[in-house]
């Protein structure tokens, strides 16, 4: 009898402790004892987590707090002011750490996206510095990008022969991976390469089967060991899919080990292997083969999927707005003449640039930035944020802010131009690559690639909907990023 009473007292004490929030914790829903708000997450919005979290902000304010389970604080940040403060608060620059996330990189915290601390800083600095040396985001990479554009246009011409519809499903991914892989591994793949098509399918499946909010639930490591499939499906983190990609990258690394020279660094793998050799005497060096694989996987996912989505949505918006497509093409003809656009033309292609900015704003490929973590106790908008809190930044609420944009659901490039159309309006309310210490590492290359691909395609072709069919949907596929559904269009070479 005494034992039962003691157990009951302990359970009641745990329930009371689980229901007590720290002083000045952000307002938000209570959820259930022990389970917290986990049972209600999917009910906020069954399809799009960013819309569900926005509903909470509408009710509780721009900084909303609740618990996942009995002890994991989760902070949802919406609106420009709160988001700007969060992104530039170094105390919130960490990354969540759990077994399901580590599974992608051999059970360790590796790479440059899902890591933090001194090791992350060292790897990010090294990666960014040496990719820049190799032409990452510089005009020197323009020839490499142009090569992929030429191949893509050849494929479009082949598909559009005899006025047949062109299928844009997955059209851009291979081009973008080729650009990245030329810098990383010094190699280009043919567009019909079966191996790479399989790897791209893996990345796409991972991205669009993931659930952003459930991925942050603190499931114990033992659950992943005992019930791997159930745990992965529940969390929406299919990191087990990455085994073929890990093996592919490891094989390419071994090829570099056998034929590289210290006198010539052909690509990022060569540079990284040289650094590994230099640091062999350091017992705790962060430079090792698994780390290199983790960095490359991060670059693959961040580089290909987001830019591919931006290109697909930009074309979709122009199919829905042919008058804007015509304005862009008129400007391209005036500025570029008979030539394809170059980066040197960019400052003169103001309407083109404004339309591309508007497509990024409206498509909102990454509505929720990669989750942050509080590295120490801190404050946000006056509220107390406990150490280890998971913090999610809802960029959608900045890009679709009714007060700032007035008509955020409209595709209107003119909003990014001065009234006379002679200058671009640069605003920090446009954050397609996030901001702060955790801003996208690939931003310079992504901006150049996005501009050159879209401007070149619009200079060379006219894109029209298929007659007697509904316009292709603008409704995005959900996942870690928002993707476009495959669509077809009539493509006609411009004379």
Q: Is 50:82 a contact under the CB 8 Å cutoff?
A: no
DSSP 200-239: HHHHHHHHHH--TTGGGS---HHHHHHSHHHHHHHHT--G
What is the sign, positive or negative, of the torsion defined by CA atoms of 279, 281, 284, 290?
A: positive
* Residue of 364, 371, 390 whose CA lies nearest to 478: 364
87 by DSSP, 3-state: which?
helix
Evaluate whether 79 touches 62 at the Cβ level (below 8 Å).
yes
Residue 241's alpha-carbon distances to 99, 192, 210, 232, 237, in angstroms, are: 15, 22, 12, 11, 9
- On whether the CB atoms of residues 142 and 448 are closer than 8 A, the answer is yes
Q: Please state, in angstroms and rounded to a whole number, the distance separating the CA atoms of residues 367 and 82.
A: 15
Q: Do residues 301 and 173 make contact, with C-beta atoms less than 8 angstroms apart?
A: no
- In 3-state terms the chain splits into helix, strand, coil percentages (rounded to 5) of 55, 10, 35
Long-range contacts of 426-432 (CB under 8 A, 24+ apart): 428/84, 429/80, 429/398, 429/399, 429/401, 429/404, 429/405, 430/357, 430/360, 430/361, 430/399, 431/83, 431/395, 431/398, 431/399, 432/310, 432/360, 432/361, 432/364, 432/365, 432/366
Tracing tokens 């400007």 back to the chain, one arrives at 331
Structure tokens at 208: 């669009």
Give SS3 for 180: helix
Residue 484 CA to residue 479 CA, distance in Å, equals 11
Q: Was 78 annotated as part of a binding site?
A: no
* Structural tokens at position 254: 């071994």
**Sign of the alpha-carbon dihedral angle for 368, 369, 370, 376:** negative
Q: What pairing do the DSSP bridges indicate for beta strands 72-78 and 390-394?
A: parallel
Which residues make up each annotated binding site? Answer: 440
Write out the binding residues for heme: 440
């Amino acid at each position: 009898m005494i034992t039962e009473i003691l157990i009951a007292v302990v359970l009641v004490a745990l329930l009371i402790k689980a229901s007590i929030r720290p002083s000045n914790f952000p307002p938000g829903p209570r959820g259930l004892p022990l389970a917290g708000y986990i049972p209600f997450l999917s009910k906020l919005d069954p399809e799009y987590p960013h819309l569900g979290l926005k509903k909470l902000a509408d009710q509780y304010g721009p900084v909303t707090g609740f618990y996942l389970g009995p002890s994991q604080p989760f902070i949802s940040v919406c609106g420009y002011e709160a988001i700007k403060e969060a992104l530039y608060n170094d105390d919130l620059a960490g990354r969540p750490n759990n077994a399901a996330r580590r599974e992608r990189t051999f059970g360790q915290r590796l790479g440059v996206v899902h890591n933090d601390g001194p090791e992350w800083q060292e790897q990010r600095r090294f990666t960014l510095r040496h990719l820049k040396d190799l032409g990452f985001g510089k005009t020197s990479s323009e020839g490499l990008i142009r090569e992929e554009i030429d191949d893509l246009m050849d494929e479009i011409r082949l598909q559009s022969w005899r006025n047949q519809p062109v299928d844009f499903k997955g059209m851009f991914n291979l081009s973008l991976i080729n650009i990245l892989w030329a810098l990383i591994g010094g190699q280009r793949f043919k567009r019909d390469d079966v191996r790479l098509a399989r790897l791209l399918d893996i990345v796409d499946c991972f991205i669009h089967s993931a659930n952003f909010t459930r991925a942050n639930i603190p499931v114990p490591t033992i659950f992943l060991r005992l019930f791997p499939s159930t745990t992965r499906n529940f969390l929406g983190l299919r990191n087990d899919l990455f085994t073929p990609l890990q093996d592919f990258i490891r094989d390419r690394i071994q090829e570099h080990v056998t034929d590289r020279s210290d006198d010539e660094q052909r690509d990022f793998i060569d540079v990284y292997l040289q650094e590994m050799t230099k640091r062999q005497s350091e017992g705790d060096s962060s430079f090792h083969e698994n780390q290199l694989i983790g960095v490359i996987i991060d670059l693959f996912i961040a580089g290909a999927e987001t830019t591919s989505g931006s290109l697909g949505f930009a074309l979709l918006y122009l199919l829905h707005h042919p008058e804007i497509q015509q304005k862009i093409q008129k400007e391209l003809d005036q500025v570029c003449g008979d030539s394809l656009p170059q980066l040197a033309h960019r400052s003169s292609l103001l309407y083109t640039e404004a339309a591309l900015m508007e497509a990024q704003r409206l498509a909102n490929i990454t509505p929720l930035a990669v989750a942050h973590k509080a590295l120490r106790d801190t404050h946000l908008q006056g509220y107390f944020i406990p150490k280890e809190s998971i913090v999610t930044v809802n960029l959608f609420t900045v890009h679709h802010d009714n007060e700032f944009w007035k008509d955020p659901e409209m595709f209107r490039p003119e909003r990014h131009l001065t009234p006379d159309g002679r200058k671009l309006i640069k605003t920090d309310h446009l954050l397609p690559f996030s901001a702060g210490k955790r801003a996208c590492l690939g931003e310079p290359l992504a901006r150049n690639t996005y501009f050159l691909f879209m401007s070149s395609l619009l200079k060379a072709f006219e894109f029209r909907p298929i007659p007697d069919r509904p316009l292709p949907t603008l409704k995005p596929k959900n996942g870690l990023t928002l993707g476009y559904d495959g669509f077809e269009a009539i493509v006609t070479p411009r004379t």
